[in-house]
Structure 1
């Protein structure tokens, strides 16, 4: 059975990651370079094809120029504002 990666909350997370990247004026290539990963890594987590573990999320936040705790604050606010 295929696991559904596209829950409402997961979509909010992905949208926030993409929004923060764009607000920082970064392309997927830029983030990938900062992470030392291929651009496809960024594309896959932004599209929901791949999930990030907590350490990867920590690194992504650093590449985007914010702390993990600040990202979690933003995520909590978005989840609260976008309840199904």
Structure 2
């Protein structure tokens, strides 16, 4: 049985990775939100694990950050 993914360990790793990449690229929540055409609160909710991304949002998020989505998926693999 799967629990809520928004509070999962995998989502915590993913959001930490996304936030790190946002910082690495020099974006604020507002500047990234502007690229995505979303309110800055959307970025905050994702990074604070109050909201999870669907697969399309995830790919768009990665594209806006100019990072490869496969890199994030690799950190989610369970050995």
Please indicate, yes or no, whether the TM-score normalized by the shorter chain is above 0.5.
Answer: yes
TM range (shorter): 0.7 to 0.9
Tell me if structure 1 keeps the 8 A contact 2:29–2:43. Answer: yes
Q: Distance in 1 between matches of 2:72 and 2:55?
A: 16
Unmatched runs of 5 consecutive residues or more in structure 2: none
2:70 is the alignment partner of 1:72: yes
Quote the residue 1:58 is aligned against: 59
**3-state SS, counterpart of residue 38 of structure 2:** coil
Give the number of the structure with larger relative contact order, counting CA–CA contacts within 8 Å between residues 6 or more apart. Answer: 2
Given that 1:16 and 1:75 are in contact with CA atoms closer than 8 Å, whether structure 2 keeps it comes out as no
Number of residue pairs aligned between Structure 1 and Structure 2? 76
TM-score normalized with structure 1 length: 0.77
Q: What TM-score, normalized to structure 2?
A: 0.82
CA RMSD of aligned residues (A): 1.9
